[in-house]
Amino acid sequence: MDSPYQGSADVHVLPTNLALPGVGVLPINAYLVMAEEPVLIDSGVAIDGDEFMDAVSSIVDLEQLRWVWLTHDDADHTGSIQRIMEAAPNATLVTHAFAALRMSTWWPVPLDRVHAIRPGDDIHVGDRTLTSVSPPLFDNPMSMGVLDRSSGALFTVDAFGAILEEATQDAADVAPEALAGGMIGWATSDSPWVHLSDPAEFGQVLDRVRRIQPRHIFSSHLPAASGTSLEEFLRVLEQVPTAERFVPPDSEQFAEMIKTMAELQRAGEQVPGTGRSDAEEDQAGTGSAVPSPRRVDTERRAEQTSAP
């Protein structure tokens, strides 16, 4: 886990920046909203459990945490959810009803502490009201974004995420071309259904986001961004339905990624665990940087086409 930082006057970002060899860095963010009744949005990744709990408790007394808003039940959002709910006895879990039921198959969800929500529902957290909104892109149909009208903060779940060249705390630090490429790459891999959508209808979905006019944009997979970036972000997403489709790594490419991950782990980088012993990692060697799966696939097709 990386060091928490302040995304706005009353929003703390709890980030992990996951190195993806040959691809880039994927931000994974949870958020703590310092309302009169504090709200934790998502709970990080499981491998960061101890650090995540320390980070949250360094900002707010877990006895005082009143709300845990789980945007959806994917692994990169639920990492410490059970620990948080056990350590914060006064917290209510806000999430999609089916997300709560599905999670109950792998941890004992206190269903009597769940407040099920749908798009448009409001949660009153003392000094403000949070509204549930549907993100324009998602990989899980149970995804529920958050709009804080008092501060103008819009939490967009996976939408507006991007694979970056390096970690940063401000999306404005990323060059526009790199940001657009990373955002399209993330959207096509995370929300492949968008290729089946009608561009005009998808444009109407984006228009609904445009009308919100947020002052702050907090994506689960992008550094904190100013609301002034909204139009730029929407122009990028408009391209996604007709963008080149994402091609995942094949077995050979994945093996090369694992070799590189082992080397990065030895160097102290934050990468997914390889599951290999030190001896196995030493035998694997240093590995090499892996080009993006889409580029490799394109190169291979070109070689096959040119072969006699």
What structural domains does the chain harbor?
Answer: 5-242 (3.60.15.10), 251-306 (no CATH)
The alpha-helical segments, DSSP class H, found in 104-250 are 176-190, 199-212, 230-238
Average pLDDT over residues 294-299: 39
Mark 209-247 as b/e (b = at least 16 C-beta within 10 Å): beebebebbbbbbbbbbebebbeebbebbeebbeeeebb
In the chain, the N- to C-terminal Cα span, in Å, equals 50
Neighbours of 135 (CB within 10 A): 25
Average pLDDT over residues 251-280: 73
Residue showing tokens 């990744």: 45
Query: For 64-107, how does the pLDDT look when each residue is reduced to its tens digit (9 = 90+)?
Result: 999 999 999 999 999 999 999 999 999 999 999 999 999 999 99
Enter the tokens of residue 1.
């886990």
**Which residue, 44, 36, 43, 42, is CA-closest to 10?**
36
Query: For 187-228, how does the pLDDT look when each residue is reduced to its tens digit (9 = 90+)?
Result: 999 999 999 999 999 999 999 999 999 999 999 999 999 999
Residue 36 in this model has a pLDDT that exceeds 60: yes
Residue 178, Cα to own-chain centre: how many angstroms?
Answer: 18
Average pLDDT over residues 120-129: 97
